[in-house]
Amino acid sequence: MMRRREFVAGSLAAALAPVVAGGGALASPRGAGRLLPVPLNPGDTVALVSPSSPVSDSFDLQLAQEVLEALGFRVKPGAHYGDRRGHLAGADAGRADDINRAFADPDVRAVVCVRGGSGGARLLPLLDYDVIRANPKALLGYSDITALHSAIQARTGLVTFHGPNGSGSWNSFNADQFRRLFFERELMEFRNPDDRGDELVQRRNRTITITGGRARGALVGGNLTVLTALAGSPYMPDFDGKILFLEDVSEAPYRIDRMLSTLRLMGALDRIAGFIWGRCTDCGPGETFGSLTIEQILDDYIRPLGIPAYRGAQIGHISQQFIVPVGGLVEMDADAGTFRMLEPAFSPST
């Protein structure tokens, strides 16, 4: 998994760039009404695209295609999905074109990202949001794909899905969630599975309440580093009345502190209705200086808000992860450490 500190400066510059492609990419204001993707069924065609970094081994591309076929889909890889340009999966124009073509293609019913990494924000001015809005389809991915989730939410209101990338782990937990959510259209309740093992009480995989209570709102968020890199751009989603969920990987606590400070200074934290912290994998303090803990940082930024909040949800760089409808309306219960969908994630059309 690639570290994301190098991503911040470049991605923010790209997000703020005045270039607009696709005719009217900035036409839709932030806070657009909710737009549901078309439903998926076994036998449908899905596009496989690489918006961010390339895979380290081309065999991972084959695995990603086999995963989607095992789920029951026909797979249509993007023309540039196997490209490489430094730390990127090819040139910006090619990666963006694959996404635009996937949404415009009447045969494609969903778009799945091969992997995250870095570079997704470079594509945001190049995406055709008019085409995306006119052809609402499910987009699946996480980590650096947060840039796409955020921009598409901000510019179109389309509900997308924060969950396993094509080349990631597709264990029974993730595959079962996918089938229940995408094929059975279940109104999911997201609750960490019991992982007691040989212990008298569960120690692993616990959720911890920061502030108790319940809240309702649409979900926004994803990877903290990628999200805060969009600050000041037209691709940052609206936070008013939302449930903010966050995760990260390989970030020292002082960097987590700085990024939450950015969200507070821009007024985002004051506007949310609830807060869900997933996993911050490999986010321990360094060995050369003192450090706040993640718990202390969340107590400093989240507890004073007085809103329902908890930490430890199965969201992030972990093998078993929730597939979260970004933009979907949910109710969270911070005491129970759960959240549940309040409405379908797909349009009723077939």
| Residues recognised as catalytic | 143, 247, 317
Cα–Cα separations (whole angstroms), residue 91 to 15, 83, 145, 146, 170: 16, 8, 17, 19, 28
Give the residue from 125, 127, 136 showing the smallest Cα distance to 96: 127
At residue 123, φ and ψ (nearest 5 deg) are -85, -15
Round to whole Å and give the CA distance between 2 and 248. 11
Cα–Cα separations (whole angstroms), residue 166 to 9, 37, 250, 279: 27, 19, 21, 20
Q: At what angle do helices 146-156 and 7-16 cross, to 10 degrees?
A: 20
Q: How many CB atoms lie within 10 A of CB 94?
A: 18
3-state secondary structure of 168: coil
Enumerate long-range contacts of 292-300, CB under 8 Å, 24 or more apart. Answer: 292/253, 292/254, 292/257, 293/253, 294/253, 294/256, 297/253, 297/256, 297/257, 297/260, 298/210, 298/260, 299/210, 300/257
3-state secondary structure of 225: helix
Cβ–Cβ < 8 Å for 33, 157:
yes
Q: How many CB atoms lie within 10 A of CB 194?
A: 9
